[in-house]
Every structure is written in structure tokens, then in C-alpha cells.
Amino acid sequence: MNFNSQTISIRPALKAEADILAQLTLYSGSNLMTTMFGGEKNVSRVIEKLCKSDSSVFSHRFSYVATIPQNNDAENEASQPVGIVTVHFSGQDAELEDTVSMALLDQIGAFHSLMLWPLTVMFHMCSLPIAQGESYVGVLAVHPDYRSRGIGAKLIESVEKDAYLAGDSAICLDVEIDNDRGLRFYERCGFQTVAVRHAPFFLQCRRIRGLRRMKKTLR
């Protein structure tokens, strides 16, 4: 499908499209999420449940989608989400641990949830706290069929405007150390690496090497 940047629209995500949000979210790091949420059999269901939640970091409440018109008709009201960004502006509070725990319990049971919890703890060991006055982008993903067409940049541009209006002075995010494509994209958008944290050995055995914290100052 042909389209240009003028036909890309950004709107708040809807709870009713949680299944689409979950699929788009998985495009942002399927190996990482599969490891954290219990394998390919469970990950889609867990992410969808978290997207439906009102309080998780994956919640539809914190997400925006990029849409393009269908059938090459810019005036067509029907549009399809092809990208997603999940962002937390300073002062927003998401109860990640409690919500993830309940989603895992519901989908894979108490025993397997307890088996996975050490992975979550290890993952937090290689992440950094978010400073006051900074917005945090938790997810940015574009459907593979629509990449390299300006959709990701449009989502980042939307976040920058909203973060500025919210009074935040910077936007930060984490990129997996070996995600070279993501690194180049964020550098083009004006982000700079401010810290690198390597994952514990057990996570590296699961192909999660660590996280690169990147930041862009807005004012």
C-alpha cells in the first residue's frame, strides 16, 4: 500500500483493540517478551491481558497508535493500526509488578509464574530508574510490512509534543544492547546513549545481553 506522512494519523489506543495492541507490542522485542512472559505459547495472551488492563505499563490508557487509511483512500474513515507507542509521562503511576503477576497467574498458573519471577527480578537489575520530569517510552513498534516509511518517527514526534505539554524536560527509553536497527533509529531522532547495563549471566544465556538507556532533552 502506498501512503505518505500526511496520511499517517496518531490517536489514543482503544481497549477494544487489545488484541491488535498486543501483536504490535510483540514486534518491539519478541525474544525479550517471550523470555519474560513464559514462552511463545503464553506471551500473546499475557500481553493482550496487560493491554486491556487500566494500570499496567502496557495498558491501552498509556498507548497511542499510528493508523493509515485503507484502500489508498485518505478520506476513508476506516483505518488500520500499524504502529504503537506506549509512554508514561512524569507523574503517571503504573503498577507493573502487581498487574504482570496477575496476568501470569491467570494464563500459566501459580507454579510457572513463580518459576518466571526470578527472570523479572534479573531484568530489573539491568534497567535504570526514571528521573522526575522525564517521560518514558516503554514500547515503540511498527508492523514489519510498514517499516521505513516514517511511522516510527511520527510516533516519536507525537510523544515529544505531549511530553513537552505535560511539562517534562526529557524523554528516555531502553534499547536492547544488540538492537542495532533500533539504536540507529533513535539516534536519527535525536536520542543519545547515557548508560549501558549488561544483563546477569542467566539472562545472557537467553539471548538478552542488556539494556542501553537513551535520552532526548526537550528544553
- Quick check: is 157 in a domain? yes
DSSP-assigned letter for residue 149: S
The range of the structural domain enclosing residue 125 comes to 5-170
CA distances from 124 to 128, 200, 203, 210 (A): 8, 10, 11, 10
Total structural domains within the chain: 1
pTM score, two decimals?
A: 0.82
* CA distance to 26, 69, 152, per residue, from 210 (Å): 18, 38, 23
Nearest 5°: phi and psi at 122? -65, -40
Angstrom distances, CA of residue 157 to CA of 2, 3, 56, 66: 21, 18, 24, 12
pLDDT tens-place values along the chain, 219 residues long: 556 666 889 999 999 999 999 999 988 876 666 666 655 667 788 888 888 888 777 889 999 999 988 765 544 445 789 999 999 887 555 444 444 444 444 544 554 444 444 455 555 666 778 888 999 998 999 999 999 999 999 999 999 999 999 999 999 998 989 899 999 999 999 999 999 988 777 677 767 788 899 999 997
Buried b (16+ CB within 10 A) or exposed e, 174-190: bbbbebeebbebbeebe
**Domain-embedded: residue 12:** yes
Contacts of 134 (CB under 8 A, 6+ apart): 90, 168, 169, 170, 171, 172, 215
Q: What pLDDT score was predicted for residue 124?
A: 60
Domain assignment present for 154 = yes
Q: 182 in a domain, yes or no?
A: no
Is 217 among the domain residues? no
CATH code for the domain in which residue 31 is found: 3.40.630.30
Rg for the chain, CA atoms, rounded? 17
Q: Residue 211 falls within a domain, yes or no? A: no
In a domain, 198, yes or no: no
pLDDT, position 92: 59
Give the other-Cβ count within 10 Å of 112's Cβ.
15
Q: Is 130 part of any domain? A: yes
Query: pLDDT tens-digit profile of 114-165?
Result: 444 445 555 566 677 888 899 999 899 999 999 999 999 999 999 999 999 9
